[in-house]
Amino acid sequence: MTVPPSSHRDAHPYGRSSDDVRRRELRVRRTRRLRAVQLAIFSLLVIVLIGVGVYAVGEFRRPSAEQGVIAQKSFGEEEAEVTCPDPGAVPLPPGDVTVTVLNGTSRGGLAGEVTEQLGSRGFTMGDAGNTKKADSAVTIVYGPDGYLAAQSVRTQVPDAALRLDDREGAEVDLLLGNGFSEIAPEDDAAAALEDAVEMPEGCPTE
């Protein structure tokens, strides 16, 4: 019996030609490369999303910037000695006081809003800005020569804490913290401007 010659396909151990095998191997390699590229792109997207999330959380926690002003303001050292006012002294008139309002909350536009309110009551206003130093609901920061100016601003925010630093001059900063709600009614503030101030600790009362 005559055995027919083996075909090229039959000669291959898998019953396929070597060209078929090469094409299959090429497809497998392409598929692997495609999956590797897809995995790399997916990993990159995950990293980007994590970065965006971290940035967004940081922006949410950071005090909202007032439009057109420097975001943060630093303060001098608190090791200073206040200049004692005369006994019976009253707060300075608002027109003699320069005050800068700084927002220490996440409420956008708060410093600008309070700046407008105090300006309408006669205060000279600095540029509104932001701060990370608002440890209380309201804080008034003043220098050794600014006690009566600070008391003038305090008539507008009676519950404000006072903080002394080593700045020069009588300008003061008003720091608004998370507990701040609103300034005092105008009539109450005007009446308080006529009252003698409490003397600083260590100053003569007579």
Q: Model confidence over 83-124: pLDDT tens digits?
A: 999 999 999 999 999 999 999 999 999 999 999 999 999 999
The reported pLDDT for the residue numbered 74 is 53
Question: Would you place residue 1 in the very low, low, confident or very high pLDDT band (cuts 50, 70, 90)?
Answer: low
Average pLDDT score over the chain: 84
Structural contact between residues 126 and 100, judged by C-beta atoms closer than 8 angstroms: yes
Q: Computed from CA positions of residues 174, 177, 179, 181, in that sequence, does the dihedral angle turn out positive or negative?
A: positive
- Arch. (CATH architecture) of 94-193: 2-Layer Sandwich (3.30)
Give the domain ranges of the chain.
19-60, 94-193
19 CB contacts (<8 Å, ≥6 apart)?
A: none
The reported pLDDT for the residue numbered 42 is 85
Tokens 């090429």, residue located: 26
| Section 135-146 average pLDDT | 95
Query: Does the predicted TM-score (pTM) go above 0.75?
Result: no
Mean pLDDT check: name the lowest of 1-5, 99-103, 109-113, 192-196: 1-5
Question: Would you place residue 63 in the very low, low, confident or very high pLDDT band (cuts 50, 70, 90)?
Answer: low
Residue 105 CA: distances (Å) to CA of 72, 102, 128: 12, 9, 13
Query: Rounded CA gap, 189 and 192, in Å?
Result: 5
Query: Rounded CA gap, 129 and 112, in Å?
Result: 8
**Comparing C-alpha atoms, which of 77, 99, 177 is closest to residue 133?**
177
SS3 173: strand
